[in-house]
Amino acid sequence: MNEALFTANNLWIMIAAVLVFVMHLGFAALEAGFVRRKNTVNILFKNVMIISIGLLTYYILGFNLMYPGGDPGGFFGFAGFGLSMPEGAAGLIEYADGGYTYWTDFIFQAMFAATCCTIVSGAVAERIKLGPFLIFCVLFVSLSYPITGMWKWGAGWLDELGFYDFAGSTLVHAVGGFGALAAIILLGARKGKFTKEGINPIPGHNLPLAAIGVFLLWFGWFGFNGGSVLSGDAGAVSLVFVTTALSAAAGIMGSFVTSYILFKSHDLSMVLNGCLGGLVGITAGADLMSPMEAIAIGFIAGIIIPFSVVMFDRLRLDDPVGATSVHLICGIWGTLAVGLFGDLAGIAQIGYQIIGIASIGAFTFTFAFIVMYVLKITMGIRVSEEDELKGLDIAEHEMSAYPDTNIGVENYAMSIQ
């Protein structure tokens, strides 16, 4: 391999890492937009902390848990604390067959890692205590995520089995979604969300912020999926760009049509979630699909979103930003789609995909549930009812996101949204 190709390849993975970094801003904006103004500082604070925790713990522990580099096919491995560049050229051109350097590898993977906590952060918004949540994040991102990640991307048993998950519909998104599910089960719904009279929507306080978040997530997703080619290979990366973009576009269309049929409404929050659903859906097989198949996958993801949102509401599982619908349900859908569409489609593959989802789901849900449960019975995970009424910004941060605007009564009175 010549140096020029190596430089170009590595350049792409570095840029992809930067794009994945922007997804943290995307999540922060989306989640901030979808909560009430009285909880805005809190959600931003959590998202800033998560990226810090994600990078630091991945440096200390996560990277070497996820890519232990032992014999293939295992369940667990650990290559030691911290990072150390392999000697000589092995750290550069020879490290990954000219795809990228050791440092590039780390930074690209580290940017992925924090994502799983950001997904949880949205689902538990407006009622979780800050301290326990941060402890949960440390454990989730430094242990749970890399262990299941290793099963596939670290050449573990699922990889050997034939499970396929290109850029992480399951390994990243559904993992975040299973964590979120465990958390919201233990946490309970926000006050006033479910009353005897029925479901009481609690609209987000700033939809432009949410829309900015979704566009930035899509922007970053070109790096998330495109970088997962793990080289700058022109044909492969550009195909991934096409499938990713078309699936997102189809996700918007799918949720537009479905929400109109179901609710006779043009709900911005639904098409935003539909867009993300399409992106999550294509993630597992972005390199395997034709454009038409990508559109099909995205469109179905878009259809799923409104149904899934309603389903979680009916189950009285309260998820302010729709993280479980987007990341868990569409993550599962996308992973299954690899068995239904594209180059690998087939009965056997469907089986592998189900095994992958089920095993990772079982591990992650159990891990998250136990951690949250222990935190619940020890420190408590939920703020007091009074603090919830006041808002977490005042209660946990003694700040206000927009201190010099008038505060609407909606922020305080439970029954007037």
Partner 1 sequence: MKKIEAIVRLQCFDEVRDALAMIGVEFFSLKEVKGYGLQKGETMVYRGSIYGKDYIARLQIDILATDEKADQIVKTILTSARTGEVGDGKVFVLDVEQVYRIRNGETGENAL
How many whole angstroms from its chain centre is CA 14? 20
H-helix segments, 288-346: 291-314, 323, 330-340
Q: DSSP for 150-178, please give it.
A: HHHTTS-HHHHHT---SS-IIIIIIHHHH
Residue 248: name the closest of 199, 177, 206, 305 by CA.
305
Please pick, from the candidates 272, 300, 301, 304, the single residue that binds a second copy as defined by CB under 8 A: 272
Q: DSSP for 20-69, please give it.
A: HHHHHHHHHHHHHHHS-GGGHHHHHHHHHHHHHHHHHHIIIIIHHHH---
313 interface partner picked from partner 1, a second copy, none, CB below 5 to 8 A per type: partner 1
270 interface partner picked from a second copy, partner 1, none, CB below 5 to 8 A per type: partner 1
Q: Identify which of residues 84 and 195 has a Cβ nearer to a second copy in the complex.
A: 84
Helix and strand element counts for the chain (H, E): 17, 2
Least Å distance between CB 306 and partner 1? 6
Interaction between residue 259 and partner 1 (CB under 8 A): yes
Per CB under 8 A, the segment of 71-79, 106-114, 139-147, 405-413 that binds partner 1 is: 405-413
Please pick, from the candidates 61, 65, 93, 141, the single residue that binds a second copy as defined by CB under 8 A: 93
Q: Identify which of residues 7 and 417 has a Cβ nearer to partner 1 in the complex.
A: 417
- Cα-Cα-Cα-Cα torsion 159, 109, 18, 224, nearest 10 degrees, comes to 20
Least Å distance between CB 41 and partner 1? 11
Least Å distance between CB 382 and partner 1? 18
Residue 33: name the closest of 272, 276, 385 by CA.
272
Least Å distance between CB 141 and partner 1? 28
Per CB under 8 A, the segment of 115-123, 225-233, 349-357, 379-387 that binds a second copy is: 225-233
Interaction between residue 82 and partner 1 (CB under 8 A): no
Tell me how crowded residue 370 is: count the other CB atoms within 10 A of its CB. Answer: 12
* Binding mask of the shown chain, residues 210 to 229, with x at each position contacting partner 1 by CB under 8 A: --------------------
Site for partner 1 in 269-288 (CB under 8 A): 269-270
Site for a second copy in 202-221 (CB under 8 A): 203-209, 211-212, 214-216, 218-219
CA atoms in the 13 A half-sphere facing the CB of 299: 8
H/E stretch holding 194 reads strand 194-195
Interaction between residue 271 and a second copy (CB under 8 A): yes
Interaction between residue 262 and partner 1 (CB under 8 A): yes
94 interface partner picked from a second copy, partner 1, none, CB below 5 to 8 A per type: none
Tell me how crowded residue 53 is: count the other CB atoms within 10 A of its CB. Answer: 21
Question: What's the CA gap between 297 and 340, in Å, rounded?
Answer: 10
Contact criterion met (CB below 8 Å) for 300 and 308 = no
Q: Identify which of residues 62 and 339 has a Cβ nearer to a second copy in the complex.
A: 62
Interaction between residue 288 and a second copy (CB under 8 A): no
Which residues, 6 or more positions from 39, have their beta carbon under 8 angstroms from its beta carbon?
125, 126, 391, 392, 393
Contact criterion met (CB below 8 Å) for 273 and 330 = no
Interaction between residue 88 and a second copy (CB under 8 A): no
Question: What does the longest C-alpha to C-alpha distance in the chain come to?
Answer: 68
Q: Identify which of residues 158 and 214 has a Cβ nearer to a second copy in the complex.
A: 214
Q: Identify which of residues 200 and 363 has a Cβ nearer to a second copy in the complex.
A: 200
22 interface partner picked from a second copy, partner 1, none, CB below 5 to 8 A per type: a second copy
Report the chain's C-alpha Rg in angstroms: 21
* Binding mask of the shown chain, residues 303 to 342, with x at each position contacting partner 1 by CB under 8 A: ---x--xx--x--------x--------------------
Q: Identify which of residues 379 and 416 has a Cβ nearer to partner 1 in the complex.
A: 416
Interaction between residue 398 and partner 1 (CB under 8 A): yes
* Binding mask of the shown chain, residues 5 to 24, with x at each position contacting a second copy by CB under 8 A: xxxxxxxx-xx-xxx-xx-x
Residue 417 burial (CB < 10 Å; 0-12/13-18/19+)? exposed
Residues in contact with partner 1 by CB under 8 A are 198-203, 259, 262-263, 265, 267, 269-270, 306, 309-310, 313, 322, 386, 389-390, 394, 397-400, 403, 406-409, 411-417
